[in-house]
């Protein structure tokens, strides 16, 4: 069986990638519409919004799949106790 090809960031769906990047591409240019009297204030405003969007995108992509990767959460608590009835291992 052939493995599916992943384009972009591994582990994230194409829809999530499109929404996150598309939202950033719409939001950051909109900040230029807020006319400020001083150029430094305008640059600081745009840079702070761009930084916030960038860190938010980073969190979305890093925390998208918490049970996989280097900084993962162990699925062991889900296999035991009251949650054991809902546990079905993922097939790849």
User: Could you tell me if 63 and 26 are in contact, meaning their C-beta atoms sit under 8 angstroms apart?
Assistant: no
Provide the token pair at 38: 């001083």
Task: Return the CA Rg of the chain.
Answer: 20
Q: What is the DSSP string of 48-87?
A: HHHHHHHHHHHHHHHSS-TTSSTTPPPSHHHHSGGGGGG-
In this predicted structure, the answer to whether residue 2 has a pLDDT above a threshold of 50 is no
| pLDDT tens string 27-82 | 888 887 777 788 888 888 888 888 988 888 888 877 777 767 677 777 777 777 77
| Sign, CA torsion 6/12/13/16 | negative
């Amino acid at each position: 069986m052939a493995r599916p090809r992943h384009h972009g960031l591994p582990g994230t769906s194409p829809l999530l990638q499109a929404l996150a990047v598309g939202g950033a591409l719409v939001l950051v240019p909109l900040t230029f519409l807020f006319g400020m009297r001083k150029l430094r204030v305008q640059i600081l405003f745009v840079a702070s919004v761009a930084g916030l969007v960038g860190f938010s995108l980073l969190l979305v992509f890093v925390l998208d799949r918490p049970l996989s990767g280097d900084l993962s959460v162990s699925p062991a608590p889900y296999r035991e106790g009251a949650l054991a009835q809902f546990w079905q291992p993922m097939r790849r």
